[in-house]
Amino acid sequence: MTASTGRRRILVGVGGGIAAYKVCSVIRHFTEAGDDVHVVPTRSALNFVGAATFEALSGNPVRTEVFEDVDQVAHVKLGQEADLVVIAPATADLMARAAAGRADDLLTASLLTARCPVLFVPAMHTEMWEHPATQANIELLRQRGHRVVSPGSGLLACGMVGVAVMIIGGAVR
Ligand SMILES: Cc1cc2nc3c(=O)[nH]c(=O)nc-3n(C[C@H](O)[C@H](O)[C@H](O)COP(=O)(O)O)c2cc1C
């Protein structure tokens, strides 16, 4: 909770998937509800949506690397201070790194320091979703108490219909 305002503090982690554009409306939804939103995109995510968009939508600085703003110890505090972490889209790679306990960027480092509820919203091609490695990583994340949303089906980036498009709140496509 942001001490001075009592607003809910939400860390939105953005993975490098084509569905990254959909998280913009999710950020908007949180800020309109009065939440204090901090967006941490991965390096790959910035290929899909720029930091300026996330900064404008959230009203907060956007960082990706652990070596940015070192004096603020963001790699520890962002996770510690969050009331909720939402990872969307949760790519196969990002969930693998989270399951392995990696801390090689600001988002995965923050996941290690977060003690609040963590929600993963996966989005990927059907074969990536169905791969035993991905399913094992999801199982591990769930065993640790994280929520991993079950995907819906719909049109994928390649134009095919698949089982793993990102859904959040049942409506974001
Ligand atoms: C056009 C394009 C779309 C992609 N979409 C997805 C996707 O929807 N889901 C996914 O898991 N990976 C997707 N990828 C692959 C990821 O970008 C790649 O695995 C990357 O390493 C993920 O990085 P992250 O750990 O920062 O999310 C896509 C790659 C490209 C080039």
Q: Could you read off the pLDDT of 4-62 as tens digits, one per residue?
A: 677 899 999 999 998 899 999 999 999 999 999 999 999 999 999 999 999 999 999 99
CATH superfamily for domain 9-165 = Flavin prenyltransferase-like (3.40.50.1950)
Hey, where are the domains in the chain? 9-165
CB 107 within 8 A of CB 54: no
> pTM, whole model, 2 decimals?
0.93
Ligand 1 geometric centre to CA of 6 (Å): 36
Residue 107 beta carbon below 6 angstroms from any ligand 1 atom: no
Which atom of ligand 1 sits closest to the CA of residue 156?
Answer: 8
Contacts of 39 (CB under 8 A, 6+ apart): 12, 13, 14, 27, 54, 55, 57, 58, 60, 62
**pLDDT of amino acid 72:** 87
Higher pLDDT, 166 or 12: 12
> Is 158 part of the annotated catalytic residue set?
yes
Which atom of ligand 1 sits closest to the CA of residue 44?
Answer: 26
For range 77-103, the mean pLDDT: 97
CB 39 within 8 A of CB 78: no
Ligand 1 geometric centre to CA of 74 (Å): 25
Ligand 1 geometric centre to CA of 168 (Å): 18
Is the pLDDT assigned to residue 166 strictly greater than 90? no
Q: Among 96, 172, 89, which residue's Cα sits nearest to residue 124?
A: 89
CB 112 within 8 A of CB 154: no
Residue 16 beta carbon below 6 angstroms from any ligand 1 atom: yes
What are the φ/ψ torsions at residue 90 (nearest 5 degrees)?
-90, 105
From 18, 39, 121, mutation site for ligand 1 pocket: most ligand atoms within 8 A of C-beta: 18
Give a three-class secondary structure readout of 50-80.
Answer: CHHHHHHHHCCCCCCCCCCCHHHCHHHHHHH
Higher pLDDT, 3 or 59: 59
Residue 31 beta carbon below 6 angstroms from any ligand 1 atom: no
Ligand 1 geometric centre to CA of 2 (Å): 32
Angle between helices 106-113 and 92-99 (to 10 degrees): 40
Read off the DSSP letter of residue 98: H
CA distance 67 to 76: 12
Q: What are the angstrom distances between the C-alpha of 85 and each of 28, 106, 116, 120?
A: 15, 13, 7, 8
What are the φ/ψ torsions at residue 114 (nearest 5 degrees)?
-75, 135
pLDDT digits (tens, 9 = 90+) for 105-161: 999 999 999 999 999 999 988 899 999 999 999 999 999 999 999 877 666 666 666
For range 84-104, the mean pLDDT: 97
